[in-house]
Amino acid sequence: MSDLPILDELGADLQAAFRDPRGVRGRPLRSLVLAAVLLVLLAASAGAATYYVLRASPIAPLKPSDVESQQQVARGTSRVLALRASDPVRGEPPWGLRIARSKTGLTCGTVGQIVNGEFGIVGLDGRFRVVPEPNADACSIAGADGMTLLGLRVFDADKAAKVRTLLNGLANPQLRRVQVSLGGGDPRTIPHDRSGAFVIALRGYPEDLQPVVTLTFAGGRAKRLALATSDNVIPDPLGGGAWRTEVGGFGCPIRHGKPAANCHPPTCVTFSTARAGKASAGSPGLCGKSDDSPGHVSRALFYGARRLSGKRRLMSSPFSGRWNGHAPRTALWGLAPTSVASIEITGPSGLRRVARPALNRAFLVVLDPTVNPEALRVAIHYRDGRVIHTGPDHHLVPTPQP
């Protein structure tokens, strides 16, 4: 079952329980702290990102055989910096950064929590476990820009409110200021120490936060880094999970072994929660006529506005959507050609949003569900200066049934 390690792990759990059912009864059932998922590194060795699944057992030190030599921590070189970042929940242990040297001379960083002077992680079961010295998140060397490490470390959880993203980094003593803005908001200054290290604990996943870090060094030189961004992933305006657009289409019927002539199947755009999972929600597809063909620059432009709610289940079409009980949202989404620079959406009470087509040509604006989609107005700004004004629905065709 090596292609599905989870079955091996579950099998081991079950077999242990089968052998000694009374011995395991009453064991805590909740899954504890889960994974470290994302590391954004600057010139870092791509060695073993530590991955913790804590189950009433200590965190095992990484085996040297499982770690690239550049990322093997040299024994006795670790030190936990005095820098502390508070957890978003008051009363939870603060977060810190442990710096070490690898056996090949790289600088390694690890984020963790500090309890009674020890460096580790508090699991969702409330138990603190020490993170052993060999377990480093990432190792790197100082770059010409003064940065050694910059990372987003995710501590996943079974509830969104418990998910933590740890933004952390190590620059150099010339660092004067670290500013972080989240979801396009105003920048705020976060503390750093004399060595140029910084860490901040945030609630939520990186794509929900889309942090932009601006580092200012002595002499005024500034470095701006946008993390966890993608042009087709947008943060939720109401503080929920981020959204992602997708573009899909239908094939032409095959007649006598060839696609039917003069077939122009529609293209459809959907959007869904960027992070897949049981609670993920997806919009229905909005479809328009496609004019895609080899060597031809598409001019397809279509969009629509809808208020989405409920628990729709996907049955008849890959584009029928499944909102899955997600909190309601009003949204306007569709497809624009590359000749469009921006899409300006206006509405009641001075509402104004500007969207730009992503690489997949889709665009999306998510709004508060109290906004009436029919009250929205759209202005399409072309790169050549033309502007066209329309209502909330434009050039849509019915979603085809497969």
Partner 1 sequence: MALTSDDFAALYDRHGRSLVIFFQRRMYDAEAAVDLMAETFAVAFRDRAQFRGGDAAGWLYGIAHHQLTGYYRRGSVERRALARLGVARRELSDAEIERIDELAGTAALRAELGGALARLPAEQRDALELRVVQECSYAEVARRLSVSEPTARQRVSRALRELAGALEQWEAVQER
Closest distance to partner 1 from the beta carbon of 125 (Å): 10
CA–CA gap between residue 85 and residue 94 (Å, rounded): 6
Residues 6+ apart with CB under 8 A from 20: none
Kind and range of the H or E element at 84?
Answer: none
CA–CA gap between residue 171 and residue 196 (Å, rounded): 5
Nearer to partner 1, 5 or 385 (CB): 5
Nearer to partner 1, 32 or 345 (CB): 32
Closest distance to partner 1 from the beta carbon of 312 (Å): 6
Only one residue has tokens 């991955």, namely 51
Nearer to partner 1, 51 or 391 (CB): 51
Residues 6+ apart with CB under 8 A from 197: 81, 83, 97, 99, 168, 169, 170, 171
From the CB of residue 39, how many other CB atoms can be counted at a distance below 10 Å? 18
Handedness of CA 48, 49, 54, 57 (dihedral sign): positive
Name residue 332's amino acid: L
Name residue 283's amino acid: S
Q: How far is CA 63 from the centre of its chain?
A: 29
Nearer to partner 1, 32 or 147 (CB): 32
Task: Give me the residues that bind partner 1 (CB under 8 A), please.
Answer: 1, 3-7, 9-11, 13-15, 17-19, 21, 24-32, 34-35, 53, 55, 156, 276-278, 310-318, 320, 401-402
Closest distance to partner 1 from the beta carbon of 4 (Å): 6
Length in residues, the chain: 402
Closest distance to partner 1 from the beta carbon of 156 (Å): 7
Nearer to partner 1, 4 or 144 (CB): 4
Closest distance to partner 1 from the beta carbon of 211 (Å): 22
Closest distance to partner 1 from the beta carbon of 12 (Å): 10
Of 143, 141, 218, the C-alpha closest to 173 is: 218
Nearer to partner 1, 14 or 222 (CB): 14
